[in-house]
Structure 1
């Protein structure tokens, strides 16, 4: 994977450069001391992965990522833990807090490598198969509108008696009159899984699984006993 490092601290640049040299599947293309240098590199080179600090003069790592139309994968490397939620809301591959041990760096890099493999496999899957097996979007009635929702944008769905709440990248969830069971049938079973009597989650948006709960963004979602076996089988496969 072709990668760049962005950090205004020379020692941090040296450490990450050394780490990258020890990982066979990483190729360092450039080191940048600020976001402006990085933008020039990104315009001229094909980059798969960005390692970026967050707090830098003039142009923060978060500002840089938000400014990119076609985002490579990115991992935040920072001395501050309080940006973690915002980082993952931007779909960061990982969030490394300084001082970064090598084993933690390797884990993050491996996660990026696995994500890239899945993306390549998906792109190589014939389009006709994708269309036959998976719906790409649905329409739901909310208040006085029929809203189109891309399935890839759905993070999780929560049941509220006669209504369900659909959580996407937008700040406000979508409320529609439906049962979770009826909605589950619309979604297709490859990318979504029922994990609780009140929740369906998108496998794509899961950050981590911790015993009997799932974390998506800053939301903790319980795993019901009756759904656990099916869920574990899905993530293992």
Structure 2
């Protein structure tokens, strides 16, 4: 059961919790492709082949296991490898990645996200906790968060307990005094539970819970948080 009285801080996943991620990635990849057409046409042709790009990503993962938690570096170095294979200037990778990264920050929030952030931030310190490479300042949500911890910067990603504990340390509270909210069963809920946190599973698709270990609460939307923390009086 959720122990509301113990909660002193809230950590929040970003991708697919505050905004849908795949439309963002699709727009970013299209922006990258347009830039490559103008600046590295042979690489653009290579990027048009899903098979070739899958091979490049797999090769980059094998070549640079040290980057497995750094989505930005993996993307940039994959672009560099594609440029090299296409016999174009690999130094273009930085500029190409910046085109992708800028569009990756152009997110469209779920309708319930902004009201939920405004409600929560008035009551608790919030910490963004993500395996992705969204930048909360560039996304426009920095004012709501006391801290932001990403796998890219921390060097370890969810569900590793260490990144959850780092989020607790950022606001100087104990794990059982934190409610972690996220959509991913393994990364967010089981990761948070194993770190000793209270957890809220954001289940927008009405999926079935697949594990014996249960979240403290399940939410169909972030809009339910207000009722959770301020239940209507009888």
TM over 0.5: no
Q: Which has the higher contact order (CA 8 A, sep 6+)?
A: 2
Structure with the higher helix share, 1 or 2: 2
Structure with the higher strand share, 1 or 2: 1
Using structure 2 for the length normalisation, give the TM-score: 0.30
Using structure 1 for the length normalisation, give the TM-score: 0.30
